[in-house]
Amino acid sequence: MLLESLLPNYSWDAKLAIAVAAFAMNYVSTAKIAIARAVYWTIYSVVTCGSHIAALVGLTPEMTIATMGRELSELAGKIRSMHTLLQQQLNHCKEELDAYTWLEIIFKRPRRRDNLEILEALFFHVEGDKQIPPLVVGNTKAEVESTKLKDMNLLLVISGSDERAEEIRALAKLFEDLQKKGKFQYQVLWLPVVDKLNEQKFSLLQSLMPWYTVQQPSIIKPGALRYFREVWQFKNQTILVRLDSSGSVPSPFPLDYLWLWGELPGTSEPPSLDDITLDIIIHDLYTVDSAKPKSIICFWGGEDIKWIKELTKAINGVKQFIDFVYVSNSSIIDQTNKDDDGFIAGIGRYWEESESWRFWIRLRCIFSTVIIQERKVDIMKDVMTLLSFHGNYRGWAVFGPLRSTQKIAAAP
């Protein structure tokens, strides 16, 4: 009856073909197995019924009416079970299509009063007979109704299942810094797209987030996940989607944009990557005093504690002329510095995990962006040299002038 109501103007063979195609498109591994099994047992049952009818003309001692009835009853049970399974999958397919279509309709409307309708379309709100709040505050697990986000500017963080704890901490710190500067007027909502849930990892990442998250990834409707992939072009690389209080959605943008420029698109005009300078690499990680003349900065790092202590003694005589910034690369160094009364911070600045992580990820973003755009940039050699120091146990140092296009000098 469901096929009859959904496809009233099609012949039955066309209805069957459309139903099979819908299963195959929306459920490519599950549907193939279920349909193949159903086809096999259906044909098997038809052949069996035919052979039993023919056998009724001349019964043999091995094939009695009771035996036939028992075998047909077992086959009927199999067919009913498979019919129920396929009917459930068809219902899921219809629900997914309905949710996807509804999101398309909502976003195509010229005017919307608020963003609540969109949030309601994204989530399941009922589990069995129980009404459940779909959201929580990540690091407190306090339950939140979607209505609390009504009339708020939202930043949707849509990601896959490969996030790391350091990335979440760095992102939280970046949002906090932008908010202090008045450049971030959003409530953040994390929407993970997860095929196979690792409960322990999900709970850990959730606990690091001072923003809103879903209770569980399964609360996001399959139709919404399809919309993320097909319309917003989510391909397992984190994207950000701004959703203002009226529900308007500018184009989604990759998280790499945030790591590269340190702010949301449209906040200010980003500089060109045709000429990569040291200022571009560190522009929001290092505060430059424009009132002072051009200065020299030294970024240095490594995990050899003995080498680090020897270097800190050797550069004491020149630290008033050069601004030294230690780029941390591991929690071991961070803890050693704290336990030893800040032996690194005594000669200059010390970047712990968040700033250091953003430094390295920005270099990778610069490299990948230049490669993708097929730009020819001379300083790319310097970027590659810097990237080669990441994870290096031995000590390394990079010197360069600020507010200048001159090349940097690097030494391992």
Torsions phi, psi for 19 (to 5 deg): -65, -45
The pLDDT assigned to 3 comes to: 46
Question: Residue 371: exposed, middle, or buried by beta-carbon count in 10 A (0-12, 13-18, 19+)?
Answer: exposed
pTM (2 decimals)?
0.75
Type of residue numbered 339: D
- Nearest alpha-carbon partner for 33 in 84, 74, 86: 86
pLDDT, tens only, 338-347: 666 566 766 6
If one looks up domain 116-258 in CATH, what number appears? 3.40.30.10
DSSP codes, 194-263: -SS--HHHHHHHHHT-SSEEES-GGGB-HHHHHHHHHTS---SS-EEEEE-TT------EEHHHHHHHSS
Domain range 278-411, CATH architecture: 3-Layer(aba) Sandwich (3.40)
Q: Bigger pLDDT: 225 or 335?
A: 225
If you average pLDDT over residues 210-225, what whole number do you get? 92
For residue 214, report the phi and psi dihedrals to the nearest 5 degrees. Answer: -75, 155
**3-class SS of residue 295:** coil
Tell me the residue length of the chain.
412
Rounded distance, CA 285 to CA 313, Å? Answer: 26
Spatial distance between the Cα atoms of 310 and 308, rounded to a whole number of angstroms: 5
Domain boundaries, the chain: 2-108, 116-258, 278-411
Rounded to whole angstroms, how far apart are CA atoms 410 and 412? 7
DSSP 340: T
**H-helix or E-strand spanning residue 397:** strand 396-401
User: What are 25-59's pLDDT values in tens digits?
Assistant: 555 656 667 777 777 777 777 767 766 666 666 65
Contacts of 324 (CB under 8 A, 6+ apart): 297, 298, 300, 315, 347, 348, 349
Instruction: Give the Cα separation of 121 and 38 in Å (integer).
Output: 34
Q: Which residue has the tokens 């319309």?
A: 231
Query: Roughly how many angstroms between the first and final C-alpha of the chain, as a whole number?
Result: 73
Q: Out of 292-296, 323-327, 330-334, give the one with best mean pLDDT.
A: 323-327
Q: How confident is the model at residue 249 (pLDDT cuts 50, 70, 90)?
A: confident
Of residues 95 and 318, which shows the higher confidence score? Answer: 95
Let me know if the fold of 116-258 is the same as that of 278-411: yes
Sorted by sequence, the CB contacts under 8 Å of residue 124 that are 6+ apart come out as: 134, 218, 219, 220, 221
Distance (Å, whole) CA 150 – CA 162: 30
Do the strands 154-159 and 142-144 form a parallel or antiparallel pair, or are they unpaired?
A: unpaired
More confident residue, 93 or 174: 174
Strand order through the sheet with 253-254: 142-144, 135-137, 212-214, 187-192, 154-159, 239-243, 253-254
The answer on pLDDT for 225 being more than 90 is yes
The residue with greater pLDDT, 172 or 39, is 172
d(CA 87, CA 61) in angstroms, rounded, equals 40
